[in-house]
């Protein structure tokens, strides 16, 4: 097994550069229980959930401990507003994005995103996996619904892109999701594999449109969906498909930023592929980063599989170098944001933010 490559990094670190992982330090704000996992896998970043941050004090202690452990570690979160709100009081909880968008004021979405970004930066985060760019065309969709910004591509573009701008202005990396579009699914990909049977013409005129516009605006990161779109690839989900990621997202839509897979532990993937196999497939498809959000054993499995694929050449040197360049662009943006003064912790739950959300409660 080749030990070193790509700038002198050892194989363990090279594999870890593809991972953003979930951890479970027990809600204490201390890293003790998960230090072994971090040492073993050397991930690019960590994603936190409500289970990790039961209080403001625990949140600040945990993010500080992670930054002290590895100053370059990227700290990420899903923090959209509405039902996808991970952080405890006094963090401001904003209404669902669909409700805010229906106010008809794109400037409001930019203001909300800036408030979220200020609170996230004050708490030590770098990445928010938002905005949702899915078009809300199915009122019975069990997983997207009011997380979307509109029921037409134009509504999504009109409101989600100002939101993305607000995150950027606040020093937070945004991520458009879930490519190629999760808005018209009837099942939850956390539980099973959704299928979208629209033809190519429909996908190009509706689902793909917000992503194309976000790419034109410079979205730095896009998350792929665990959905089967036979018009794009009849065999494997979008997140594992080279045709979808490298062919459509990068090739036809011209995306040059970082691609991240949705959580590989979701049953849409885990029930059909092993985590290790799925991680390698996602990377071979064109993902620069894969998420493994909960189970330490599955984090280790993904890490070991990627390391083996790198060692034997199943992930080529050219692909690894290209992915590393894209990750380094994200890290450069984070460093630039962190060079500015960090908002004071008192901005979390600030009166102005509470007033902003109360107007639309």
The catalytic residues are 190, 262
- Closest to 208 measured CA to CA, from 182, 239, 190, 241: 182
Are the beta carbons of 58 and 38 closer than 8 angstroms?
A: no
Q: In whole angstroms, what is the distance from residue 117 CA to residue 101 CA?
A: 18
- Size of the chain in residues: 361
**Residue 139, CB-side half-sphere exposure with 13 Å CA sphere:** 0
Residue 42, token pair as written in the block: 């050397």
334, exposed or middle or buried, with CB in 10 Å at 0-12, 13-18, 19+? buried
Q: SS3 of 219, please? A: coil
**CB neighbours of 227 closer than 8 A, spacing ≥ 6?**
178, 180, 182, 185, 189, 193, 194, 195, 196, 237, 238, 268
Angle at the Cα of 134 (from 171 to 207), degrees rounded to 5?
Answer: 125
DSSP 163: H
DSSP 87: P
């Amino acid at each position: 097994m080749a030990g070193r490559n790509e700038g002198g990094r050892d194989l363990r670190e090279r594999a870890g550069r593809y991972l953003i992982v979930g951890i479970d330090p027990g809600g204490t704000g201390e890293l003790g229980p998960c230090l072994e996992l971090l040492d073993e896998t050397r991930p690019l970043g960590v994603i936190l959930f409500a289970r990790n941050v039961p209080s403001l004090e625990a949140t600040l202690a945990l993010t500080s401990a992670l930054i002290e452990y590895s100053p370059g570690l990227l700290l990420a979160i899903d923090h959209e507003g509405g039902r996808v709100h991970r952080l405890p009081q006094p963090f401001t909880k904003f209404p669902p994005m669909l409700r805010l968008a229906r106010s008809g004021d794109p400037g409001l979405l930019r203001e909300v995103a800036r408030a979220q970004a200020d609170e996230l930066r004050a708490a030590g985060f770098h990445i928010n996996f938002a905005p949702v760019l899915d078009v809300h065309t199915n009122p019975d969709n069990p997983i997207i619904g009011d997380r979307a910004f509109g029921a037409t591509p134009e509504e999504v573009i009109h409101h989600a892109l100002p939101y993305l701008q607000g995150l950027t202005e606040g020093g937070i990396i945004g991520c458009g999701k879930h490519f190629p579009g999760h808005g018209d699914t009837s099942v939850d990909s956390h539980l099973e594999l959704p299928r979208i049977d629209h033809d190519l013409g429909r996908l190009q005129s509706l689902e793909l449109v917000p992503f194309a516009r976000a790419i034109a605006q410079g979205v730095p990161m896009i998350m792929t969906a665990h959905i089967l779109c036979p018009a794009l690839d009849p065999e494997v989900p979008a997140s594992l498909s080279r045709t979808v990621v490298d062919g459509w997202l990068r090739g036809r839509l011209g995306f040059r930023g970082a691609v991240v897979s949705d959580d590989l532990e979701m049953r849409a993937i885990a029930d059909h592929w092993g985590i290790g196999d799925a991680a390698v497939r996602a990377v071979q498809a064109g993902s620069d980063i894969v998420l493994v959000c909960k189970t330490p054993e599955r984090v280790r499995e993904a890490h070991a599989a990627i390391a083996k694929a790198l060692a034997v050449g199943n992930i080529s040197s050219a692909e690894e170098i290209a992915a590393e360049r894209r990750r380094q662009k994200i890290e450069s943006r984070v460093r630039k944001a962190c060079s500015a003064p960090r908002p004071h912790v008192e901005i979390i739950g600030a009166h102005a933010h509470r007033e902003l959300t109360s107007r639309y409660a």
